Structure 1
Amino acid sequence: MSEAPRLAVFASGGGRSLENLAHSIADGSLACRLALVVCDRSDALVLERAERLGIESVLIDPGRELGAAAFSRAAFESVQAHDCQLVVLAGFLRLLSLPANWNGRVLNIHPSLLPAFGGKGYYGDRVHLAVLESGAQFTGCTVHYVNDEYDAGRILLQRCIPVLPDDTPESLAARVFAEERLALPAAITLHLKRERERSGARA
């Protein structure tokens, strides 16, 4: 049996999505291995989660001295040193400059139905507040491929929920995250399936 694909997770915050992926792997619903966490904040709780889960982590540029290109070089050198085949951004707030050989192999999850409520400055509760202020009837989450712009890459998968009359930013965030917990493992599985199909076609 071939070794499970190795996954790197980039995160700047608490790491709930990392824990979710670990649970999906443990219960057999996601066939990959969490090999590395890349973080850019020394106070991020994701570092503690990674240690508890036994996942190696690396902290890069917490002082935010590097530009996008220099940060990306350092981050993807670590990813390649850990022999990862796929990168997932989960609550990662920095803009990346992707190395050419990583195009189509970096996914991001965003808490809205892109292209709505995406781009620079749209993260966390800011997204949900904007959804409520707009009067939108539906929202959800999007997993998309990453390019050199915020939230602008090709969409892989979306999950949709209604906005309820009594929703607050906090209640909406909780319901959207429940969808993210399903969307991210499903999107990774879909990506890996398509990669296997492409490899088979080339063979």
Structure 2
Amino acid sequence: MPPARPVAQPLDRPIRLAVLISGGGTTLANLAEQIQAGSLSAEIPIVIASRSDCGGIAKAAAAKIPCAVIRRKDYASLAEFSQEVFSRCRDARVDLVICGGYLSLLQIPPDYQHRVLNIHPSLIPAFCGQGYHGEKVHAAALERGVKVSGCTVHFVDDEYDHGPIVVQRTAPVLDDDTPATLAARVFAEECLAYPEAIRLFAAGRLEIENHRVRVLPEERVANGE
């Protein structure tokens, strides 16, 4: 078994984020609000949209964040598409890539291994993988009759919803829930979980052993252990 290894060293400055979007940009808006409120020490130098009609493009413009549209169908291969996405991230000197409702599969290059996070609106490994996104996830949870749902922040690898789990938060499932009401309750937890995961990464408090993420105590990191 590979030894535990730190994911990143602590940063002494605001962490630089690229936010990848495919829809309305609710995750982008949440992060921008938390940065403005001072509860998240971060900068967003670039947003990357997978479609030109993403509602989140307007949110990026309103926040005065440059936004690039990079469509998978414009590239002959997944490798070429992924290369363009990460080239833009390097140009923007991005520390961490944030997938916010991003639906395009990526090939993660070596220099961005364990530097790409995704959030999924269920407790992985439940109701995840290709085809499970948006209200489809919540409809499946209700159909199965689960009593608790929630969200998962995880590192991205070359499979959908598969990489090591960083943070999970739970939300109750009520008897009269619809996919929309459950989605709203889970999203409230997402608004807390994503900034928490980003703060842990920026503080150098994450290490990976095999496929498991461990959160290190603050004092251990402060002592350089």
TM-score, length of structure 2 as denominator length: 0.85
More helix, by proportion: 1
What's 1:145 paired with? 155
Q: Name stretches of at least 5 consecutive residues in structure 1 with no aligned partner.
A: none
Change in 2 beyond 3 A, CA 1:148/1:83: same
Alignment-mate amino acid for residue 5 of structure 1? I
Q: Which amino acid aligns with 1:190?
A: L
Aligned to 2:198: 188
Count, aligned residues? 202
Cα deviation for residue 86 of structure 1 reads 0.5
Distance 1:36 1:162, change over 3 A: same
Aligned to 1:96: 106
Unpaired runs of at least 5, structure 2: 1-10, 207-219
Work out the percentage of aligned pairs sharing the same amino acid: 46
Distance of 2:129 and 2:224 partners within structure 1: 35
Contact 2:25 2:101 in 1 (8 A): yes
1:11 Cα deviation from its structure 2 partner: 0.5
Q: Which residues of 2 match residues 101-140 of structure 1 at below 5 A?
A: 101-140=111-150
Counterpart CA distance in 2 for 1:64 and 1:5 is 31
RMSD value, Cα: 1.9
Is contact 2:72-2:104 (8 Å) kept? Answer: no
Q: Does 1:87 align with 2:100?
A: no
DSSP-derived class of the 2:151 partner: strand
1 CA distance for matches of 2:64 and 2:73? 26
1:165 aligns with 2:169: no
Secondary structure at 2:80's aligned position in 1? Answer: helix
| Alpha carbons 2:15, 2:95 under 8 Å: kept | yes
User: In structure 2, what is the equivalent of residue 51 of structure 1?
Assistant: 61
Task: Read off the aligned partner of 1:107 and give its amino acid letter.
Answer: L
Give yes or no for contact 1:10–1:38 (8 Å, CA) kept in 2: yes
Name the TM-score, length of structure 1 as normaliser: 0.94
Higher relative contact order (CA 8 A, sep 6+): 2
